[in-house]
Amino acid sequence: MSLDQYVTLGNSGLRVSPFCLGAMTFGEDWGWGSSAADSDAIMARFMERGGNFIDTANVYTKGHSEKIIGDFVGKNRGRRDRVVIATKFFGNLYPGDPNAGGAGRKNIVAACEQSLRRLQTDYIDLYWMHAWDRFTPIDETMRALDDLVAAGKVRYIGFSDTPAWKVAQAQTLASLRGWTRLIALQIEYSLLERTVEGELIPMALELGLGVTPWSPLRGGALSGKYTRENAGTVTADRGERVTTALGDKAYAIIDELLRIAREHAATPAAVALAWVQSRPGVASTIIGARRLEQLDQNLAALLVRLAPEETAALDKLSKPTLGFPMQFMSVATMFSHSGATVNGEKSIVWPLAPASDAERY
């Protein structure tokens, strides 16, 4: 696969590259990240390779991320029309103002106008709700987003970091009322974060949402920089985000990534990214890069084809513990099918089932 082998995002006609360029590190306003010049070089390389999907948010680097993207694509009409710009609302850039954040109509409209100004464009391709706002009725949020689409300021909408039941409620409400439906779901997903397979991934598959995983390397924990051998001696740029993820299970996964990487003449990061991109429901994985060489290394993951036994080994080592009822559902076929094979899945015989007609009442 290459970066210019595009996929449609969810149940929509929007074509996006299989990797999405994450722009959270565009700008040095948080004390780390890429300069504006380096960010421009990264975007230029990404687009030269065929990438067309860039993801940011109004609050990334205090709004500077959007400004950098706007300076790069906003003044070039041809470049702007070619790229798919995704940004988010929810985050508050005005401390003390309760209406400058969240998913209420007042903030959605204001945040959209501010993002359009920073991005130097008259429309946003994909507008995400950054997280669920439990203080705002979901119908207010969906109706406000529908208005933005009707006004031509937004093309498509999606949700990020929201419980499955709330996403399902929003999608059902939009369907019933003829409002704009969600096309995508942005969630954390990696070999170190697979609990989304319990509710969020199945929901996305059922409701036609394309999944765009963020932090597929868990902040760099799966980059290959941190190994069992150097445990505790390498400083993590992301601090506790990385260090809290490193333990016996993580090192077992990293050991396997290193082994598979050697077989493919690739990096452990490329193998980890290839695993995420191959998961059911995943449309475009969000990759970050603060330097050009990091971008090139991550894009190399598109050339990695994991063998079934390699995927199985990683699956086994990273198997998550899912909450109720998903763990229970894994054995439910025992007493629903009791030994029969359905859709290719064979069940075992329920030991408490009647063994003969004589035992049935």
Question: Of the residues 6, 60, 123, 127, which is catalytic?
Answer: 60
For residue 325, whether the previous peptide bond is cis, meaning omega lies within 30 degrees of 0, is yes
Amino acid identity for residue 125 in this structure: D
Q: What number of residues does the chain have? A: 361
Helix (H, G, I), strand (E, B), or coil: what is residue 353? coil
Q: Which residues have CB under 8 Å from 126's CB, separation 6+?
A: 9, 14, 84, 85, 86, 87, 155, 156, 157, 158, 183, 184
Q: To which H or E segment does residue 66 belong?
A: helix 64-69
Tokens of 175: 């369907």
Of the candidates 112, 99, 166, which has an alpha carbon nearest to the alpha carbon of residue 139?
A: 166
Is 60 catalytic? The answer is: yes
Whether 315 contacts 275, CB under 8 Å = no
> Taking CA 250 as the corner, what is the angle to CA 248 and CA 254, rounded to the nearest 5 degrees?
115
Amino acid identity for residue 94 in this structure: Y
DSSP designation for 74? I
Which residues are designated catalytic?
A: 60
